[in-house]
Amino acid sequence: MKDLFRGAGYLLQGFSLLRKPGLRRFVLMPLLINILLFAGLIGWAYGWVDGYSRTLISGLPDWLYWLRYIVVPVFVLTSLVVIFYGFSILANLIAAPFNGLLAEAVEKHLAGTELQGDWRQLLRDIVPSILSELRKLLYFALRAIPLLLLLLIPLVNVAASVLWVLFSAWMMTVQYMDYPMANHHLFFSEQRARLRKRPMLAWSFGGLVMLCTLVPVVNFVVMPAAVAGATAIWVREKGLQQAVQGGPVRERRDP
């Protein structure tokens, strides 16, 4: 049960780490990418959700009009989570090489060693990082599509929305834990195996990240904060213990 609080605490630690002088230069590019994307998203998202929710209400027959008190909140919450999570994926896809460098810098900071940013390594990591993000996107799509279809079924969508929130929280943790784990040459499958050993920590960390993406201004800085917080999890929880399926993992990322 304590993992519920530990996971959320690591994200708060991530926000605190962003203020460290030695880490600020690594935060700049992910921060700019997030600001540009979310600035364009906010007005469109809220306008679309408001308009479509009104259409949804007007389409209900009179004898089902009472369902608006259930259907509309579920629709609004689920739509915002889907939209903001989708843009979070896009932001991470673009910022992946910079986030990997930030994770490395945070780990060096927490270990008390000197920070040395290697921009040549950043250039070498651009293609592998983007391929890794695309693999995570495929992993997400294969599981999200069935859940989204369930959300279209009346009454069933109430239960499906709970499953969607839990799945989205899990994916947020998978997304951001990839950066410190990939720096230690872990396969994507091994990353998920380690996280499954601490599900409450994963859900609470990812859930708070997801919540922060819905908060104006905070959502501008949540991406680098989540990278820093995930790296703190890696360091403080000792890589979420040793490999689950034996033997050291040699490859850095799945091609």
The string of pLDDT tens digits covering residues 196-242 is: 999 999 999 999 998 898 787 887 888 899 999 999 999 998 777 75
246 burial class (0-12, 13-18, 19+ CB within 10 angstroms)?
A: exposed
The answer to whether residue 252 sits within a structural domain is no
Number of structural domains found in the chain:
1
The answer to whether residue 179 sits within a structural domain is yes
The answer to whether residue 220 sits within a structural domain is yes
The answer to whether residue 246 sits within a structural domain is no
Q: What angle do CA 104, 13, 122 make, to 5 degrees?
A: 20
**pTM of the predicted structure, to 2 decimals:** 0.73
Please give the biggest Cα pair distance in the chain. Answer: 68
Q: Which residues of 104-138 are buried (b: 16+ CB within 10 A; e: fewer)?
A: bbbbbbbeeeeeeeeeeebeebeebbeebbeebbe
Reference 27, options 230, 222, 215, 253; nearest CA is: 222
The answer to whether residue 249 sits within a structural domain is no
State pLDDT tens for residues 102-123.
998 999 999 776 545 556 666 7
The answer to whether residue 255 sits within a structural domain is no
Q: In a 3-state reduction of DSSP, which class is residue 242? A: coil
Number of residues assigned to the chain:
255
Domain that holds residue 10: 2-240
